[in-house]
Amino acid sequence: MSSGAKYRTPSLSLALGSLAMGASLGAPLASANDQTQSPQRHKHHHRHVAEASKPATNTPSPAPGYAPAAALNGDEHAARKTGRSAQSGDGESLLVTGRSMNILNDPIGIGRMPQDIMHTPQTVNAVPRILMEQQNVKSLDEALRDVPGVTASVGEGEGGMSGDQFLIRGFQAQNDIYENGLRDFGVYTRDSFDYDHISVIKGPSSEVFGNGTTGGAINITTKVAHLGNNYGAQFSGGSGEYYRGTLDFNQQIGEHTAIRITGMGNENNEVGRDNIYSHRWGLAPSIGFGLGTKTTFTLEYFHQSDNRIPDYGVPVITKPGTAIARPATEYGLNRHNWYGTNYDQDVTNENMLTGRLQSEISQYITVFDDLRGGMYQRWFSASQPGCDTTCASEFFTDPSAATVDRRGHLGGPEPYQQNDWSVQNVFSVLAKFKTGSIKHEMIAGWDVEHVYDRRTNYAYNFNGQNGTASDTTSLVHPSHTQTGLLLGGAGQYQSNLVNISGVGRALYKTGDATDVGAFFSEQMWVAPWFSIKGGFRWDHWNSHYSANGGMVGGGVHYGQQQDTFNPTVSLMYTPSKNTMVYFNWARSTTPLGLYVTNSSEPLKSSTQGFKPEQSSLYELGIKQQFFHGRLGATASVFRLEKGNAMMTDPSTGTVSSSSDRQRNQGVELSLSGQILKNWNVIGTYAYYDATTTWSLTAADVGKRIQYAPKNMATLWTTYTIAPDTPWNVTFGGGLTWRDAVYLNAANTARVPHTMDWDAMISHNIGHRWRMALNGYNLTNRVNYSNLFSDRATPSVGRTFLGSLSFTY
């Protein structure tokens, strides 16, 4: 009997029923955009829509020395000036042409980074809300496909972690996902129903975000309550038995208070993969107090439940006579093949409560305090297909005889129940003042966080024996049933618990970490056209790990403490409001044991005292706006150096402090905005020279870094014919392209390049309704999404989704 059955989520029908009930009570679902009209402005709506379809006019840049106040926190300063939310679109995004895609004027959305993207001295790629709407984005993973340098991987080893696991510029970012500047510690696949926009801050950013952020940080700005009323919904359906509904309800209460509820119900299989599905629902209510005043407080609650099947892909094998291993699907294996069992399941429940306070004490001082508590539950059981040399050889000589070991090359993972909780508080003060002719902007504060992880391990029994070596299936014709395979209760088959190298077999594994950090930065304008920014962050990191139950000697307990110091320095030259040239140097630190909730390797006797990984960034860039601010372009060259890199043995999962040094240097380009009236475009390109520069394994020197492509590019463009007329139509499309990547440090396995063509067409019915059709992977190419050291997951095949949305 599966111990995970009791953790199943409610059915989609119940979730959709709840959303339908909300709609029947006058709270229809997620509008394609925020349409924040106060009642007295409602009668002028049509005039605003017509104006919205005009080309964007020049967006004034901030005066040198001062951040755009609206960027400080949810555009509240702009709201105070206009009497309504500055995020308002007045229905413009329903037309999909109402705003330019120029991301340079977008705020990053957190108080510790108050400038917009234009005036942030670092490469920042944004995924604006209008782009997510046009592409009908449904998850964080889908949204980040528009960002070069971001690839998806899945943790290996005894942890067997899945969920959202990203790399940025070839370096792990698995614990570098933030919502409104606070860490999201959960291990789950994030739905995008609550997203306003996403910012990817490239390169080390420990001075702002704390330890980690070697390749960068992903910050999600969520939809929160705002002044004005809007009610909207979107319903989608299509290939792969796909059904989805989203809800967005915002209601102003009184002069300065509003509530907002966003919701989602989603049920889908995956085109091109057998047995893979996701049934999930989510709800995110928020309430805002003091909106449009100098002091605002927003309280947000987030819940997401997901019942999905994990997909660990197809084996990567070496064809006789060749030196480089490739996915078996490149040699004719059916892309639909899935190698799991009936026990495979990934059930997650996430709950987060966040309070954010912003108070403009005076024209010089603004105070921020953000507090979040989170609780995360997860039942996880996944098969990891392992195809050894015998299996690979038989595939080419006698395919029917080739068999896959579903316990994988690391002997696991075995199923486990994970129960986590976390709390984080960030307090900061923003001060803007002048000393003589010199302008200053100072930010100072502290960041305290604690995270706790508890796992209960389960074990299989095969044909009455505590061993699963015979849990195999055909490589060519796999079956998800295995006669005689039983999943026991907690501790029932203790002798078969996962054997953790250097630790032993344990029933329970517990980890916790506490981080206390203090940060300070100052930007000083020595001239109206030139400024210097410097800052640092100090952290005291204290982590523990224990394993007990089913072990000889009563278990093991390990711990470590580390103090880290991460500085940053930037130079900015702004000869005009539309131009900035910058140089940035920054450093980040990643201690061992940082990834408590989603780490594949715990602390152990052999790793205690390992020095943390350290990374340094050198970046020179330019940001330029054209056509009165309608179009923005960026270009940067960078060098990212990582020292004391932790290495994981692909066959045993053992972590070693090899003191390897890795370097990624390259060029990144972007263009976003409105080229001509009704013609929007957003495109990016990145070139990466990512190599190992020193290693104890001499043969690895000069090899490409694992998972780091040499070239990446994205393009999305739309054009609207006859906007604001009954016969209007918007059509567009784009390309996502990623060069081939190596899967290991020795560069003996790789996946081919990815080329994904997507398209869309839409029509607005009046000013309230919109119909759209999206097509994904139109060529039905076998691309690969999640990557492993010896496996790769084929991504979605050709898919079509239709949608109907409305907003009032």
Using one digit for the tens of pLDDT, what is the confidence trace for 690-707?
999 988 778 888 999 988
The CA distance from 103 to 98, in Å, is 14
Mean pLDDT of 101-129: 91
Q: Residue 272: is its pLDDT beyond 80?
A: yes
More confident residue, 76 or 763: 763
Per-residue tokens: 757: 């063509």
The CA distance from 647 to 657, in Å, is 6
pLDDT-based confidence at 801, cuts 50/70/90?
very high
pLDDT of amino acid 212: 84
The CA distance from 338 to 311, in Å, is 7
Each residue's pLDDT tens digit, 593-635: 666 776 655 566 666 667 778 899 999 999 999 998 899 999 9
Per-residue tokens: 142: 């889908």
pLDDT of amino acid 463: 65
Q: Residue 241: is its pLDDT beyond 60?
A: yes
Work out the burial of residue 198: count CB atoms within 10 Å of its CB; fewer than 13 is exposed, 13-18 middle, 19 or more buried: buried
pLDDT-based confidence at 371, cuts 50/70/90?
very high
More confident residue, 82 or 358: 358
Q: Residue 412: is its pLDDT beyond 80?
A: no
Q: How far is CA 263 from the centre of its chain?
A: 19
Q: Give every CB contact of residue 370 below 8 A, 6+ residues apart in sequence.
A: 111, 180, 181, 182, 354, 355, 356, 357, 424, 425, 426, 427
Each residue's pLDDT tens digit, 5-54: 333 344 444 343 443 333 333 333 333 334 333 333 333 333 333 333 33
Q: Residue 147: is its pLDDT beyond 50?
A: yes
The CA distance from 599 to 119, in Å, is 35
pLDDT-based confidence at 585, cuts 50/70/90?
very high
The CA distance from 707 to 150, in Å, is 10
Per-residue tokens: 100: 């330019």
How much is the mean pLDDT over the chain? 83
Q: List 113's β-bridge partners, or say none.
A: 110
Mean pLDDT of 346-370: 97
Mean pLDDT of 258-280: 96
Mean pLDDT of 741-762: 95
Q: Residue 93: is its pLDDT beyond 50?
A: no
Each residue's pLDDT tens digit, 216-235: 999 999 999 999 999 999 99
The CA distance from 368 to 626, in Å, is 34
pLDDT of amino acid 111: 87
The CA distance from 346 to 271, in Å, is 19
Out of 18-22, 709-713, 767-771, pick the least confident.
18-22
Each residue's pLDDT tens digit, 668-681: 999 999 998 899 99
Q: Answer yes or no: are the C-beta atoms of 230 and 26 closer than 8 Å.
A: no
Q: Residue 97: is its pLDDT beyond 80?
A: no
The CA distance from 199 to 181, in Å, is 11
The CA distance from 405 to 473, in Å, is 7
Domains by residue range for the chain, with CATH: 5-462+470-807 (2.40.170.20)
Mean pLDDT of 742-757: 94
The CA distance from 302 to 304, in Å, is 7
Out of 172-186, 197-211, 212-226, 396-410, pick the least confident.
396-410
pLDDT of amino acid 561: 87
The CA distance from 728 to 724, in Å, is 7
Q: Give every CB contact of residue 546 below 8 A, 6+ residues apart in sequence.
A: 509, 510, 511, 555, 556, 557, 558
pLDDT of amino acid 710: 95
The CA distance from 142 to 134, in Å, is 12
pLDDT-based confidence at 190, cuts 50/70/90?
very high
pTM score, two decimals? 0.86
Q: Give every CB contact of residue 171 below 8 A, 6+ residues apart in sequence.
A: 214, 215, 615, 640, 642, 662, 664, 705
Q: How far is CA 703 from the centre of its chain?
A: 28
Q: Residue 653: is its pLDDT beyond 60?
A: no
